Amino acid sequence: MNVIFIEPAFPPNQREFVRGLAAVGATVIGIGERSLDQMDADLRSWMLHYHQVGNVTDVQQLAGAVRWVQERLWVDRLESTIEAHTLAAAQVREWCNIPGTSVRTTYLCRDKPSMKDTLREAGVPTAQSAGADSAAEVWAFADSVGFPLILKPRAAAGASGTRRVDSREELERALGELGASGSDSIAVEEFVEGHEGFYDTICIDGRPVYDFISHYDPNVLEAMRERWISPQFIATNRIDYSEAYAEVRVMGKRVIDALGIGTSATHMEWFFGPKGLRFSEIGCRPPGVRAWDLYAVGNDIDIYREWANAVVHAHVQAGLSRRLAAGIVALRPDHDGRISHYDGADAIQQRYGPHIIDAYLPSPGTPTQPVEAGYMANAWVRMAHPDYDTLRGMLNDVGETLHVRAA
């Protein structure tokens, strides 16, 4: 099978998808923005050809590169795994008659109001929401639903650009930050109280052949607003034994069916609270923050190879062991500046060395990144353990013990 893969070199773990495709026998053609000489020898060796373009989200540029390839060999699949690339990839698939995720499905997975309208029609419980093209429409929604509310870009990935507003004064300020008239098109939603987690799958023809459930601690909006928090998320290994998880799986399958997802990775977020289980949003692509690495460790699989098996051969080879829970704790500098040193690193290594998957502690002198930049923006530690609760306690201890000092 001949597979075009979009942007094989950035971010760095993109190379793992290319490796997986090559390992299962696909002929891989890369299209990306970086020059070939920026790629290592292994990555170059996994591709038959690499085609550089100025912007992979420019549909005309991407289509031109794909048609150049099609003039030389048959193209069976065109794959993208980054949120910002998915819609351009879907448009080019349809223009160039390549099977894969459709424009309709991709649009619904990116445009939050349209996504939720479609899912409500399918009976999936979601927060009240609307797409707003003017400040007046936002105010009308606020008058109808009340506070707190969530504002977010219509097509953002994850929590990017998302903000909570708790009063009319906060809403007025937020709209002012979005533009002089607050007229940029945004999604506005009812705030749903509850615990937040995510449900990820690899699907073949709309059937989840792998699925994973992870828990945020605390919820993402809180984690991205408070420097003192060392947030974590943990992929549970209890997914097959809980009635509550069965409800999440049923909801996830209804979402997949309603949006017409075929053979693809998915990343869905959900809340569970006083109003029960509520669907939040979906990306028709793998999760970010290298969550797949945790799934691979916890289940004794090469997940990138198995994703490639799903794409190329329409099956997976390895079963999921559910042997370990695996998680990450993010460590924030005590203030912005440059990292000076770490406190507690040796103690954590002595306590938990066998359970540490890997860690990233940037060298002294490295500039800090803002809190809202995410879980892997500064320092982090990833760990695994057979017992979920024990692992959560270990990650809490890392957050309380290992401190990033900045000067």
pLDDT for the residue 177: 74
Domain locations in the chain as residue ranges: 2-100, 128-190, 195-406
Whether 8 contacts 15, CB under 8 Å: yes
Write the CATH number of the domain with boundaries 195-406: 3.30.470.20
Q: What is the model's pLDDT at position 154?
A: 67
Is the CB of residue 66 less than 8 Å from the CB of residue 86?
no
Are 128-190 and 195-406 the same fold in CATH?
no
- Integer Cα distance of 372 and 377 in angstroms: 9
Does the domain made of 2-100 have the CATH classification 3.40.50.2000? no
187-219 pLDDT, tens digit per residue, is 888 888 899 999 999 999 999 999 999 999 998
Cβ atoms 50, 30 nearer than 8 A: yes
What's the pLDDT at 155? 60
According to the model, what pLDDT value does residue 157 have? Answer: 57
> How confident is the chain (407 residues) per 10-residue block, as mean pLDDT?
97 96 98 96 98 98 98 98 97 97 96 91 88 85 85 65 84 73 68 92 98 95 88 97 92 98 97 92 95 98 98 98 98 95 98 98 96 93 98 98 97
Cα 219 to Cα 222: distance, rounded to the nearest angstrom: 6
Give the separation between CA 399 and CA 231, rounded to whole angstroms: 8
Q: What is the DSSP letter of 9?
A: S
Residues 6+ apart with CB under 8 A from 209: 201, 202, 203, 310, 315, 316
How far apart are the C-alpha atoms of 51 and 34, rounded to whole Å? 9
| DSSP code, position 25 | T
Tell me how far CA of residue 383 lies from CA of 164, 354, 380, in angstroms: 31, 9, 10
Q: pLDDT tens-digit profile of 323-375? A: 999 999 999 999 999 999 999 999 999 999 999 999 999 999 999 999 889 89
CA dist., res. 138 & res. 312, Å (int): 45
Tokens linked to 341: 């040193």
Fold (topology level) of 128-190? Dna Ligase; domain 1 (3.30.1490)
CB 312 within 8 Å of CB 21: yes
